[in-house]
Structure 1
Amino acid sequence: MTDLIDPEVQELLERLADADPGVRRVAVLDFADIEDAAVLPALAQLLRNDPDPTLRAEAARALAGWDEPAVVDALAAALSDTAEVSGAAAQALTELKDPRSGERLLAHAASPDAFISASALRALRELRVPAAATPAFAALQHADASVRREAVAVLGWLKHAPALPLLTRVVIADADTEVRRAAAGALGLAAPEQIASVQAALCESLQDAAWTVREEAASTLGKLRAMAAAAALRAAMEDDYWQVRLRAARALGRIADTQALPVLSQALIHPAGNLRKEAAIALGDIGDAAAVPVLQAAAADPDPEVRKAVRLSLQRLGAPAGVDR
């Protein structure tokens, strides 16, 4: 049988089984140059059984991106290894690409161990395995915030509509800032007929104690083009953080709120250039000719990106770039 194996691969397999851990380590590192699937079973076995935890961690890193069942199972099993090994295995699992690999992680996503559950959910997120909605939905009630954060992300990527009622409660009531922020983003999965059921929670989130949650809520309201949120978004233009004002300005432009002209005009003189640029874009998006004078006044802004945004918005409004002096 060995006659059928490439000599270079055969030599690598022998070094992976060597009694000297230094030889085995170099062999693991050399796998990156060969990347022959025939070596995967030996690497997976080394990950499971090698007595050296540092070498097991190297094996986990070497196996990243391989979707073979034996590899996925070995990486999942390594999530209960030492911190060094489990961390490497968790990162390697995020590089899976085949949804069929994700199906092998479903049971781990429901693990009572918070690290294992969070790691499996993180790996499942971008694989978009429909069945992952079940453990993710249950994990929204998990005591560990890291698990809840990953569960919210999975449901958002899946656009799992049945989770919307619970997500609207999470965005308001969860004790963890990052969970609330993630939930504010995930509510963007709402279909047009569901916007009314989530915008009240998002508007309430514009008053959240954490500015990152307020920022995400404003962004999601803009993505949803939630017209009924216009007043709350105008109020958010007075937020202490310019990052929140920026997202609110973008949202006001998307919903074409003509009543936002005063607050957007005021934003054109804010110290943050990014906010001034977004306000100029929003005024162009709204399309009200009443914005022409304030845009013309901003045509000489010191920031070239702001000047460009002003010029484009004035073009959309059919107005000249400035006034004669």
Structure 2
Amino acid sequence: MSLNTLTERLTDADATVRRLAVMDLPYSDEDDIVPLLLPRLADDDALVRTEAVRALEGFEQHDVVAALATMLLDPSTGVRQAAADVLAELKETESAAPLLPMLLSGPPDARASAFRAVRALRSPQAFEPAMQSLRDADAAVRREAVGVLGYLKDPAAVGELAEVAANDPDGEVRRIAIGALGYSTTVSVLPALTRALSDSLWMVREEAAQTIGKLRLALAIPDLVRAMEDDYWQVRVKAARSLGLLKAEAGLPALVASLTHAVSNLRKEAVIALGEIGDKRAIAPLEASLADPDPDVRKLARLALTAIGLAGGMTP
């Protein structure tokens, strides 16, 4: 298709023609479609703007990212969502520059989208705006700001993240903050994590149980044992995983009791944990699991028994 024909279609009076032309551009013979697409971001029709935004995915030059950033302020919800999705796919750290000014200004949904976009870019310049936004009135902004800090893994944020994990009124913010603490190298986060094991939302408790295992916080073993009695099996699964990682012999009774739980995922994790702990007292219960109705549980039980047997063989 010739450039003249493309240009004519892109400026046609009919919005449907313009929209289809935008959709056809990526498949045309034109080497550089960016100069043709950027003007369509100002099209009168929201659907044309939406398709123009989508067609610009993968172009990370400064002018494109800056133009897409302005689309986070578009009056159309569809355009704003498309821009947020495209910006979230950015790969180069340098692409964060046009988005940084938006982190602390504009409506909440635009700020949340900007934080979401810079998260995986790990731009150090996003640290201070993210820290400031931990107290933002909008929960979506706080969620994305916490996510940015989790990606940056800056030790200076640990104290604030622990505070958010313990006290933020939004459950999802607390859950994300708990997960973000997984990069910490200090036991100072222990009170926040153990408190989270009693959170009103099971998703937060689940995240806390998992993060404790990641950090190998042996001081939290008694709390993990209590978490094995949680009303939600999802929490018990993560607690079992962490007890295994910590090789916590204190978790043996709770893990053995879980071998007969109705949920097979919990039985699997309990079997794995018992194998990791390596206590010979688990041999008989694991042998009973060789008759479990779930073939994965039976397989894992055989592996666990082998692991315990090998460990026993190496014991003087």
Q: Indicate the larger mover: 126-135 or 301-310.
A: 126-135
Question: For residue 48 of structure 2, what is the aligned residue in structure 1?
Answer: 55
Aligned residue for 2:291, secondary structure, equals: coil
Candidates 215, 232, 236, aligned match of 1:245: 236
AA matched with 2:232: Y
**In the alignment, structure 1 residue 199 sits paired with structure 2 residue 190:** yes
Cα root mean square deviation, aligned: 1.4
Q: Which moved further from structure 2: 8-17 or 265-274?
A: 8-17
Matched, 1:278 2:272: no
Whether the aligned pair in 2 keeps the contact of 1:44 and 1:70 (CA below 8 Å) is no
Select which of 99, 105, 116 maps to 1:105. 99
Q: Retained in 2: the 8 A contact 1:148–1:179? A: yes
CA shift in 2, pair 1:37/1:94, >3 Å: farther
What's 1:87 paired with? 81
CA 1:37 to 1:167, structure 2 compared with 1: closer, same or farther past 3 Å?
farther
| Residue 32 of structure 2, aligned match among 32, 38, 49 | 38
Give CA-to-partner distance per residue, 1:297-324, whole Å, 9 cap, x none.
11110001111111111110117xxxxx
Go from structure 1 to structure 2 and tell me whether the alpha carbon gap of 1:289 and 1:58 turns closer, same or farther (over 3 Å shift). Answer: same
1:95-244 correspondence to structure 2 within 5 Å: 95-191=89-185, 194=186, 196-244=187-235
Report what 1:65 is aligned to.
Answer: 58
Structure 1 Cα separation of the partners of residues 284 and 248 of structure 2: 18
TM-score, reference length from structure 1: 0.92
SS in 2 for 1:271: coil
Superposition pairs of residues 299-318 of structure 1, within 5 angstroms: 299-318=290-309
SS in 2 for 1:298: helix
Q: Which runs of 5+ in 1 are unaligned?
A: 1-6, 320-325
Distance 1:71 1:199, change over 3 A: same
Task: Output one character per residue of 1:147-169: Cα deviation in whole Å (capped at 9) or x when no partner.
Answer: 00001111101112111101111
SS in 2 for 1:54: helix
Distance 2:68 2:154 in 1: 27
User: Which has the larger displacement, 204-213 or 70-79?
Assistant: 70-79
Which whole-Å CA distance do the structure 2 matches of 1:50 and 1:228 have between them? Answer: 60
**Residues 234 and 78 of structure 1: CA distance in aligned 2, closer, same or farther (over 3 Å):** same
- Provide the aligned length of Structure 1 versus Structure 2: 309
- Return the offset for 1:37: 5.6
Give how far 1:72 is off: 0.8
- Contact kept, 8 Å, 2:26 with 2:33, in 1: the verdict is no
Measured in 1, the distance between the counterparts of 2:97 and 2:82 equals 20
C-alpha displacement at 1:35, in angstroms?
8.1
1:264–1:283 CA contact under 8 A, matched in 2? yes
Q: Which moved more, 1:274-283 or 1:85-94?
A: 85-94
Deviation at 1:38, TM superposition (A): 1.6
Deviation at 1:134, TM superposition (A): 1.5
Q: What's the counterpart of residue 314 of structure 2? A: none
- Measured in 1, the distance between the counterparts of 2:18 and 2:120 equals 33
CA gap of 1:88–1:279, structure 2 versus 1, over 3 A, is same
Q: Given that residues 9 and 38 in structure 1 are in contact (C-alpha distance below 8 angstroms), is that contact kept between their aligned partners in structure 2?
A: no
Taking structure 1 as reference, are residues 11 and 98 closer, same or farther at Cα in structure 2, changes over 3 Å only?
Answer: farther
Q: Is the 8 A contact 1:41 1:70 kept in 2?
A: no
Q: Which amino acid aligns with 2:73?
A: S
Show structure 2 runs of 5+ residues with no match.
311-316
Q: CA deviation at 1:216?
A: 0.3
- Structure 1 counterpart of 2:38, one-letter code: A
